[in-house]
Chain A
């Protein structure tokens, strides 16, 4: 089973990379982009029996730094 983990900076945490991307988009002439936040996408191929609770622990212990980042797990229950 494939599961996706989206790691994003918490609201309020400075994101200079997002700001630079935002600036570059404006430079290319794309108007109307009000904010850009950059994050990280991690895909896990899981064996049967690995639960969402297990992946939650993986996120807490390594995949995300919960001091600065939130994470969202997608794919459980999707079949």
Chain B
């Protein structure tokens, strides 16, 4: 696996992401600065980490989605390179047009930071093949802008096409249909609000995020 973690000004989960990737693959990812124009040669997995890129100015993820490296990320995604966006990374992917919908202020207006129970709705994807169908897992969230919104036609399409990868099992942030993670139409881009990189070691209290990275490694190795 030749992984790249994109680092924006204000990213704060980039090193957690790198640690999780190295833990699973045995290889440290490239840390790629947002101002770079190109990804390292042979990049076969891209991770957009959580954080508060550009201080969430304008809208969460809006500025990061227009930063120089994103043209290369979009091009790679269109070629089929797996792209994982977590939390702020999910916001960046929607702002960049790689995923449908938008992530808005939590319905309760509170910053929500806790472990949340999730159902694996699609266990066939590149990212979720190591989970059982409808398995219940626990992964932490930590966000203020995690309320997933899309119009009804888009939501119906996502459901019909199996592109809802994870669903919250309780009310977390007001997301439409309790959607926690979404795939693109080709299935190689996943955006999710929960942080799988924060659930990969015993010290984290849950290792339910580990299999997401293991599943990817299986595909890429």
Contacts and interface: CB of A to CB of B under 8 A. Distances in A.
Given A14-B174, A62-B66, A67 B149 contact: yes
Given A14-B149, A16-B174, A68 B102 contact: yes
Contacts of B58: 62-63
A20 interface: yes
A47 interface: no
Interface of A: 13-14, 16-17, 20, 61-63, 65, 67-68
Interface of B is mostly: loop
Contacts, number: 35
A65 B66 CA distance: 13
Interface of B: 58-59, 62, 66, 94-95, 100-102, 104-109, 147, 149-150, 174
A14 B108 CA distance: 11
Nearest to B104: A68
Given A62-B62, A65-B102, A67-B102, A17 B147 contact: no
A67 B150 contact: yes
A62 B65 CA distance: 9
Nearest to A61: B66
Interface of A is mostly: helix
Nearest first, the 10 A-B pairs at minimum CB distance are A67-B102, A68-B102, A16-B109, A16-B107, A16-B105, A65-B102, A65-B59, A68-B149, A20-B109, A17-B105
11 contacts: A14-B104, A14-B147, A14-B149, A16-B109, A16-B147, A62-B58, A62-B66, A65-B95, A67-B149, A67-B150, A68-B102
